[in-house]
Structure 1
């Protein structure tokens, strides 16, 4: 598959391990809340019958996220790519499964400047396409004019569910779902170079 870079008018990013580093230990979180390895963490938490247990589990997840937010660092080339997109008058956004509190702390600490930030409190979390479709509508763009960039299966599934082009950041480790993305690149800096040379 290929991407028509000239038709792209907005680039939306996942946050963790796409724009910023993340040290979240999902095995540790699962152990803390009793979530089976085959279950999605957020779905597991939401589906707990006991409201008190559900609240406690969500608070445990948020606690892990806040700790991670304090240690996150910019991924290589992040600020340069965002500056390039801004100079080219492209909209930018972040769609993350993080809670608002942790995501906002990461953006504030690392001085990330994007047009919109969407977290799990705003829309059903990825791989649901709702957040991506909402951004396209807000910006009066066709979904084909918005590129979603992420590093995990949920990111690519969310883009595909929105009929939106996607870019998978592989971190030099090609996963078995890479073929589901419109394009894949080893690092964020590689995507920057593709935009710079094709616009």
Structure 2
């Protein structure tokens, strides 16, 4: 295949690699926040439970939820159910707003005691020192992030930080990653997404972006590989080494 164009397909190598989730040359790294950059303190089980509880209180059949359903999958099931049973988009948006308030309450409590994973910001600085762009994409809401920014100087280390309130759709949908990549000015084949959760892997796969896992949150290395990770590290130090190697390479 030609380095710039496959004449049989009429597609650039960058486009093909993007669709396959393959790096051409690394120019940017997007990070999840909780469990990746900051210590995971969110009461995730309580948040998942309250998500299901809310939708059930509005009429969603409780037996249609599975134990494994998280916030995003529960919300997706609820949306499909309500819109298929006579609810309007405006009705759904109202429910979304009420659900957002519930999640923001949990996030706000956790944000009060936010702390970085030891050494994480030093590693981000080293990544930036070699010319790579950096960003955060989190499913946290903006109010919680603002509280975290009062305690941890994330803004000094990232070109942009997007929450679920800036993303068209939160992870595991690819929309947020695609928007962040666009705003960073990089192709999907020139960026890696680093995260600790299954929804991080799902979002990256759907966006055609390479996913590197870190087992610093709630998910094991094995599960991260199953979620689509091409590499899994026990800490961000491994991400730094891989980033330095990848930034020197071209396809």
- Normalising by structure 1, we get a TM-score of 0.85
| Aligned-partner Cα distance in 2 for 1:176–1:39 | 16
**Matched-pair contact (CA < 8 Å) for 2:41–2:110:** yes
Instruction: Report the equivalent of 1:175.
Output: 222
* 2:137 corresponds to 1:95: yes
Q: Assess, with a 3 A threshold, how the Cα gap between structure 1 residues 108 and 9 changes in structure 2: closer, same or farther.
A: farther
* 2:42 corresponds to 1:24: yes
SS of aligned partner of 1:181: coil
- Ranges in structure 1 where 5+ consecutive residues have no aligned partner: none
Q: Deviation string for 1:118-168 (max 9, x for gaps)?
A: 111122001111121122222332211111000011111111111111110
Q: Assess, with a 3 A threshold, how the Cα gap between structure 1 residues 197 and 101 changes in structure 2: closer, same or farther.
A: same
Residue correspondence of structure 1 range 1-150 to structure 2 within 5 A: 7-33=25-51, 34=53, 36=65, 37-42=67-72, 44=74, 47=79, 55-112=97-154, 113=156, 114-122=158-166, 123-150=168-195
Q: Deviation string for 1:34-72 (max 9, x for gaps)?
A: 165443325645747667765443222111101111112
Deviates further, 75-84 or 27-36: 27-36
| Aligned-partner Cα distance in 1 for 2:107–2:202 | 23
**Matched-pair contact (CA < 8 Å) for 2:196–2:224:** no
| Aligned-partner Cα distance in 2 for 1:91–1:134 | 15
2:240 alignment partner, one of 184, 192, 199: 192
- Ranges in structure 2 where 5+ consecutive residues have no aligned partner: 1-21, 55-64
Q: Deviation string for 1:78-101 (max 9, x for gaps)?
A: 111111122112111000111011
Q: Assess, with a 3 A threshold, how the Cα gap between structure 1 residues 31 and 127 changes in structure 2: closer, same or farther.
A: closer
- For the aligned residue pairs, the C-alpha RMSD in angstroms reads 2.6
| Aligned-partner Cα distance in 1 for 2:152–2:224 | 30
**Matched-pair contact (CA < 8 Å) for 1:76–1:188:** no
| Aligned-partner Cα distance in 1 for 2:146–2:120 | 17
| Aligned-partner Cα distance in 1 for 2:181–2:148 | 24
| Aligned-partner Cα distance in 2 for 1:8–1:187 | 20
Deviates further, 174-183 or 28-37: 28-37
**Matched-pair contact (CA < 8 Å) for 2:224–2:232:** no
**Matched-pair contact (CA < 8 Å) for 1:20–1:74:** yes
